A = this chain, B = another copy of it.
Amino acid sequence: MSNSDAARAASIGLAVSTVIFALRDADGAPRATPPSAGGQGTDAPATVWLPLVRRIREPQCGRWALPGGMVELDESLEGAARRNLAETTELQPTYLEQLYAFGDVNRSPDRRLVSVVYWALVRPDEAAQVTLGENVQWFPADDLPELAFDHNLIVDYALWRLRTKMEYSAIAHAFLGDEFTLAELRGVYEAVLQKPLDPANFRRQMESSGAIEATGGVVTGGRHRPPKLYRYTGDVQLVDAGPLTPRIPA
């Protein structure tokens, strides 16, 4: 329709970034309890954390930013997100979903840049493997420094999506291993939603949802009645993980 759109549009840069969420202890410790092993069970309240990388190039050199990079010609958007994740943080997320495409004209001071942003959930034991260093560190999601570009806005939006989706979808297990106790699962909800939940009511809701089933095993070693282990059945759809997700039939 316009005169010279194809030629001009070719110079818009296309990048991907990812907001990676993991649960860690409030003091920053990597949340010892991997998949509910016999460990003495960290019961300190967990909070939401995310890894950031320090920019080593202009513009905004030195500032913390979301991991990301340009999209290659021969990779999909999600593929580009996974590649950048592996390259910068060595993470292979349990859950990965597109969040939003940010494309304001002046969001990057250099050239015109459109970023397709993904958000990811990783298990604590995975998160612990992130090689920290001068240029990669974990930050509490609710108390971030001033980030590069519009990344503060992006993280806030991703955090809102995480908390909203946690209330109506079954994504909590992406923070846990294959087997988990109800207390651990409840801990995930409490960490994300930032409010205590009644253990008995939580149990009733989870059991009636059909999303989990008992494995038969229990966890011994605690100074109390041994809790049963559960796993996700997969019966409950992960609602709206994108257009390619099989939808619940009407």
Complex CA–CA separation, A98 to B9 (angstroms): 19
Chain A contact residues, majority secondary structure? mixed
Closest Cβ of chain B: how far from A72's Cβ, in Å?
Answer: 6
A164 and B114 within 8 A (CB)? no
What chain B residues lie within 8 Å of A102 (beta carbons)?
A: 243
> How far does the alpha carbon of A13 sit from the alpha carbon of B14 in the complex, in Å?
9
Does A208 sit at the interface, judged by CB under 8 A?
A: no
Does A76 sit at the interface, judged by CB under 8 A? yes
Q: Which of A1-40 contact B (CB under 8 A)?
A: 1-2, 5-6, 8-15
Listed stretches A41-49, A152-160, A176-184, A217-225; interface member = A152-160
B-chain residues with CB within 8 Å of residue A242 when the two chains form the complex: 100
Report if A101 contacts B (CB, 8 A): yes
A169 shortest CB reach to chain B, Å: 12
A-side residues, CB < 8 A to B, are: 1-2, 5-6, 8-15, 69-77, 84, 87-88, 98, 100-105, 112, 114, 116, 153-154, 156-157, 160-161, 164, 240, 242-244, 247
